[in-house]
């Protein structure tokens, strides 16, 4: 019987099974050792591996191959080469050599480098990363063999997000293995950073999408009055999924299964037209690739169904935004999850040690995490009533929170709270023991049973940045705590107690959405960067530079280049939004409002002509209200044009970004305000673009 899951799973992945089948056992063993990070990749096997990949890919219809990499745009990049070549008799042959597999050279000057590379020193190298599987991209347009690679400059600096990610995996491996061995006497050769990203997105009708320049150019609506019904009744969350959406989801799942993505969960999210897809967790390197492939598949498949996917963090003002919950844990090569509390967490020193290391790391680097999980779009979401605030705090839950309190207050923890039996009052259902801890959906960084769920990450962001920083800061924190035990000869419980006492301010179990928490957090000295621009400085903070350099994840120069890129990204993003607003206001909204005023004026004249005694006060009032708002809009429009022109004269970097944030962004709000009011006044037939209601309820 045909089954679209079984029939398709890993169909397009050069997986272990295919490797075993197509490689000699000697080459297979060498490659496997490298994949498992146990040995350096042996270059002599490259030709045989490339030849096997070529054979496999060609049988499946591939005509091209590409090095697939993740430059600092946050997207993926590819440059296709066909397998075509010729032999000495000028006869066409298909070729893919070991060298082509291992290394690519590209004129990379058009990728952002943040000053790492001048245009006249444009060489960039892509190098095969065998720890992420090779796969086939199969679309209606053909099949391409994709080789996951890292991307570095001529001088070896990372020009991408994968190189630092791999470095961070090495760092956290090194420190975790050391701690396990030297403190707890546990032999471990390798740990996996496990990550399961839950991806939220909006789905809208493509014809309507195409009528909105703001959605096309910026991914979010820059204008739009609230629909009469938004999410107030919460009817959408977990609601029955509509059939056309299910058809779309089915195709996405099949595409992802083919690529070996464990696409698992799908459901309606809180806002109308909002959905979520989540895979089962994977090792962070593969999870990062898979999340990129998931975003691509969502976008591509939507178009087959005349739909459009919006990955922006806040496509609609006043409506729930989209995030990407980054579930994160550390698992040893014997399958032990280091964040598994076990039955007696208060006695579980390994668990308490690693938990404490995370608490310390998050407290010491909160602003960095805020930065790493965001882009300009996340500003609209953080601090909204539905998403975590821009302040980072950790939720531990009742059970672990209680243990931490015992340790801080009494120096030791003697008991662990137990989950009660769930009392439903219904005899026919099985009674079971609840989790010892409830959830806290308001927390940006929640301990959820055996993993941390970092909810701040923006829906359009690559998860690489977040996990690079998370791995790096936790590695450093583990190292410091291990030194306390191993070098300073302190008892491990004592180190845990000292560290928790020092960093307890980051723990918060209450409601993160309240004003009181904002005040309390300020008292505790926790950073609250409302804007992404204000968080970028965390990248070049001396503490960050020290931690990242010590753990060989980023050099100072690499961090500086990233800061420069982000300031540029911020300025460009707001520039594009402002220009789009100017265009829409000038060419669409204002002409539509004038048409409406014309219609009203004509009506007044006509009514008066028809009857001397007829009262036109209401129509005149409408005309007057409209003209007041129109004037307000026109003034803001002119102001916005001026401000953008000034912004572009500011020196690139932090100055320009701040000008865009403080000046341009504010005027954008001043332009939106009257236009949104006008939308509620003006005849719907005259309104030039689909409304929030049209976009979200169809």
What does the buried/exposed string (b/e) look like for 545-565 if buried means 16 or more CB atoms within 10 Å of the residue's CB? bebbeebebbbeebbbbbbbb
> Does residue 337 interact with ligand ADP by CB under 6 A?
yes
In angstroms, the CA 621 to CA 627 distance is: 10
Task: Kindly tell me which residue out of 67, 324, 325, 643 binds Mg ion, with binding defined by CB under 5 A.
Answer: 325
Structure tokens at 562: 């990233």
**76 near 296, Cβ under 8 Å?**
yes
**193 near 283, Cβ under 8 Å?**
yes
Q: How far is the CB of 422 from ligand ADP (least distance, A)?
A: 17
In angstroms, the CA 503 to CA 194 distance is: 25
Q: How far is the CB of 399 from ligand ADP (least distance, A)?
A: 15
> Does residue 198 interact with ligand ADP by CB under 6 A?
yes
Q: Which span (36-44, 276-284, 345-353, 394-402) binds ligand ADP, by CB under 6 A?
A: 276-284
> Does residue 194 interact with ligand ADP by CB under 6 A?
yes
Residues from 475 through 534 that contact ligand ADP (CB under 6 A) = none
Question: Please, which residue, 175 or 200, has the CB nearer to Mg ion?
Answer: 200
Handedness of CA 432, 436, 438, 443 (dihedral sign): negative
> Does residue 472 interact with ligand ADP by CB under 6 A?
no
> Does residue 278 interact with ligand ADP by CB under 6 A?
yes
Question: Please, which residue, 292 or 443, has the CB nearer to Mg ion?
Answer: 443
**582 near 217, Cβ under 8 Å?**
no
Residue 366 CB contacts under 8 Å (≥ 6 apart), including other chains: 391, 392, 506, 526, 527
Residues from 93 through 122 that contact ligand ADP (CB under 6 A) = none
Radius of gyration of the chain (CA): 28
- The size of the chain, in residues, is 698
Q: How far is the CB of 49 from Mg ion (least distance, A)?
A: 38
Question: Please, which residue, 311 or 367, has the CB nearer to Mg ion?
Answer: 311
Q: How far is the CB of 346 from ligand ADP (least distance, A)?
A: 21
In angstroms, the CA 488 to CA 480 distance is: 11
Question: Please, which residue, 287 or 307, has the CB nearer to ligand ADP?
Answer: 287
Query: Closest residue (Cβ) to Mg ion?
Result: 325
Q: How far is the CB of 141 from ligand ADP (least distance, A)?
A: 31
In angstroms, the CA 201 to CA 275 distance is: 5
3-state secondary structure of 32: helix
**512 near 388, Cβ under 8 Å?**
yes
Phi, psi of 86 (to 5 degrees): -140, 155
3-state secondary structure of 303: helix
Task: Kindly tell me which residue out of 30, 117, 162, 451 binds ligand ADP, with binding defined by CB under 6 A.
Answer: 451
Q: Which span (261-269, 321-329, 456-464, 600-608) binds Mg ion, by CB under 5 A?
A: 321-329
Residue 451: contacted member of Mg ion, ligand ADP, none (CB under 5 to 8 Å, by partner type): ligand ADP
3-state secondary structure of 646: helix
Q: Which span (176-184, 450-458, 537-545, 569-577) binds ligand ADP, by CB under 6 A?
A: 450-458
Q: Which span (279-287, 416-424, 522-530, 573-581) binds ligand ADP, by CB under 6 A?
A: 279-287
Looking at 122-215, which runs of residues are DSSP E strands? 123-128, 135-139, 142-153, 191-205
Residue 282: contacted member of ligand ADP, Mg ion, none (CB under 5 to 8 Å, by partner type): none
Question: Please, which residue, 30 or 325, has the CB nearer to Mg ion?
Answer: 325
**267 near 275, Cβ under 8 Å?**
yes
Name the nearest CA neighbour of 256 among 307, 293, 305, 311.
293
Phi, psi of 645 (to 5 degrees): -60, -40
Q: Which span (184-192, 308-316, 325-333, 667-675) binds Mg ion, by CB under 5 A?
A: 325-333
Residue listed under structure tokens 């600096």: 157
> Does residue 329 interact with ligand ADP by CB under 6 A?
yes
Question: Please, which residue, 435 or 638, has the CB nearer to Mg ion?
Answer: 435
Size of site (CB under 6 A) for ligand ADP: 16
Query: Closest residue (Cβ) to ligand ADP?
Result: 196
> Does residue 137 interact with Mg ion by CB under 5 A?
no
Name the nearest CA neighbour of 174 among 555, 479, 489, 487.
479
> Does residue 450 interact with ligand ADP by CB under 6 A?
yes
Structure tokens at 621: 């009032």
> Does residue 381 interact with ligand ADP by CB under 6 A?
no
Show the binding pattern over residues 274-313: x = contacts Mg ion (CB under 5 A), - = does not: ----------------------------------------
Q: Which span (15-23, 266-274, 324-332, 366-374) binds ligand ADP, by CB under 6 A?
A: 324-332
Name the nearest CA neighbour of 690 among 201, 274, 210.
210
In angstroms, the CA 209 to CA 221 distance is: 10
Other CB atoms within a 10 A radius of the CB of residue 591 amount to 13
Question: Please, which residue, 325 or 497, has the CB nearer to Mg ion?
Answer: 325
In angstroms, the CA 378 to CA 209 distance is: 21
> Does residue 327 interact with ligand ADP by CB under 6 A?
yes
Question: Please, which residue, 231 or 337, has the CB nearer to ligand ADP?
Answer: 337
278: enclosing H helix or E strand: strand 274-279
Structure tokens at 684: 């719907």
Residue 450: contacted member of Mg ion, ligand ADP, none (CB under 5 to 8 Å, by partner type): ligand ADP
Strands 445-447 and 394-395: parallel
> Does residue 280 interact with ligand ADP by CB under 6 A?
yes
Q: How far is the CB of 484 from Mg ion (least distance, A)?
A: 34
Task: Kindly tell me which residue out of 68, 281, 659, 687 binds ligand ADP, with binding defined by CB under 6 A.
Answer: 281
Question: Please, which residue, 38 or 439, has the CB nearer to Mg ion?
Answer: 439
Alpha-carbon distance values, 487 to 481, 581, 647 (Å):
10, 60, 54
Q: Which span (308-316, 327-335, 345-353, 368-376) binds ligand ADP, by CB under 6 A?
A: 327-335
Question: Please, which residue, 236 or 451, has the CB nearer to ligand ADP?
Answer: 451
The site for Mg ion (CB under 5 A) is made up of 325
The site for ligand ADP (CB under 6 A) is made up of 194-196, 198, 278-281, 327-329, 337, 448, 450-451, 453
């Amino acid at each position: 019987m045909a089954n679209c899951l079984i029939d398709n799973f890993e169909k397009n992945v050069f997986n272990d099974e295919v490797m075993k089948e197509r490689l000699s056992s000697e080459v297979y063993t060498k490659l496997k050792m490298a994949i498992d990070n146990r040995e350096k990749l042996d270059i002599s096997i490259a030709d045989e591996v490339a030849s096997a990949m070529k054979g496999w890919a060609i049988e499946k219809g591939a005509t091209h191959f590409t090095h697939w990499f993740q430059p600092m745009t946050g997207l993926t990049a590819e440059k296709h080469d066909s397998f075509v070549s010729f032999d000495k008799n000028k006869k066409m042959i298909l070729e893919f050599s070991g060298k082509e597999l291992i290394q690519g050279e590209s004129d990379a000057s058009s990728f952002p480098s943040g000053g790492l590379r001048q245009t006249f020193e444009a060489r960039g190298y892509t190098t095969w990363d065998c720890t992420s599987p090779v796969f086939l991209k199969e679309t209606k347009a053909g099949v391409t063999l994709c080789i996951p690679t890292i991307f570095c400059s001529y001088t070896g600096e990372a020009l991408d997000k994968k190189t630092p990610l791999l470095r961070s995996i090495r760092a956290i491996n090194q420190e975790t293995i050391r701690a396990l061995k030297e403190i707890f006497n546990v032999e471990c050769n390798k740990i996996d950073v496990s990550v399961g990203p839950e991806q939220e997105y909006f789905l809208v009708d493509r014809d309507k999408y195409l009528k909105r320049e703001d959605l096309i150019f910026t991914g979010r609506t820059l204008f739009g009055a609230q629909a009469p019904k938004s999410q107030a009744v919460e009817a959408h969350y977990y609601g029955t999924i509509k059939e056309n959406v299910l058809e779309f989801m089915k195709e996405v799942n099949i595409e992802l299964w083919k690529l070996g993505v464990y696409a698992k969960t799908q459901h309606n999210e809180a806002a109308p037209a909002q959905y979520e897809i989540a895979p089962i967790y994977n090792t962070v390197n593969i999870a990062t690739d898979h999340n990129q492939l998931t975003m691509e598949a969502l976008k591509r498949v939507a178009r087959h169904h005349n739909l459009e996917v919006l990955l922006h963090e806040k496509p609609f003002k006043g409506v729930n935004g989209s995030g990407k919950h980054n579930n994160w844990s550390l698992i040893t090569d014997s399958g032990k999850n280091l964040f598994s509390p076990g039955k007696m967490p208060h006695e579980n020193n390994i668990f308490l040690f690693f938990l404490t290391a995370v608490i310390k790391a998050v407290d010491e680097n909160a602003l960095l995490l805020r930065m790493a999980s965001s882009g300009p779009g996340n500003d609209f979401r953080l601090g909204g009533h539905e998403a975590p605030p821009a302040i980072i705090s950790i939720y531990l839950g009742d059970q672990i929170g209680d243990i931490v309190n015992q340790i801080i207050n009494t120096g030791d923890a003697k008991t662990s709270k137990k989950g009660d039996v769930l009392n439903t009052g219904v005899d026919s259902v099985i009674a079971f023991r609840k989790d010892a801890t409830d959830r806290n959906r308001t927390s940006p960084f929640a301990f959820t049973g055996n993993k941390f769920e970092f909810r701040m990450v923006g829906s359009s962001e690559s998860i690489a940045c977040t996990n690079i920083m998370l791995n790096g800061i936790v590695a450093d924190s583990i190292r410091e705590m291990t030194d306390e035990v191993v070098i300073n000869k302190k008892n491990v419980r004592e180190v845990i107690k000292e560290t928790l006492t020092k960093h307890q301010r980051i723990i918060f179990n209450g409601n993160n959405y309240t004003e009181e928490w904002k005040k309390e957090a300020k008292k505790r000295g926790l950073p609250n960067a409302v804007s992404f621009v204000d968080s970028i400085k965390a990248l070049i903070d001396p503490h960050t530079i020290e931690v990242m350099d010590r753990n060989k994840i980023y050099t100072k120069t690499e961090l500086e280049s990233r800061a420069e890129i982000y300031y540029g990204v911020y300025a460009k993003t707001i520039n594009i939004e402002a220009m789009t607003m100017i265009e829409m206001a000038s060419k669409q909204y204002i002409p539509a409002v004038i048409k409406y005023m014309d219609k009203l004026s004509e009506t007044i004249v006509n009514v008066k002509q028809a009857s001397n005694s007829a009262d036109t006060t209401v129509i005149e009032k409408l005309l007057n209200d409209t003209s007041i708002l129109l004037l307000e809009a026109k003034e803001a429009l002119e102001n916005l044009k001026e401000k953008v022109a000034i912004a572009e004269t500011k020196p690139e970097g932090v100055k320009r970004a701040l000008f865009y944030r403080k000046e341009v962004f504010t005027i954008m709000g001043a332009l939106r305000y009257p236009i949104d009011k006008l939308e509620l006044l003006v005849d719907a037939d005259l309104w030039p673009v689909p409304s929030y209601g049209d976009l979200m309820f169809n």
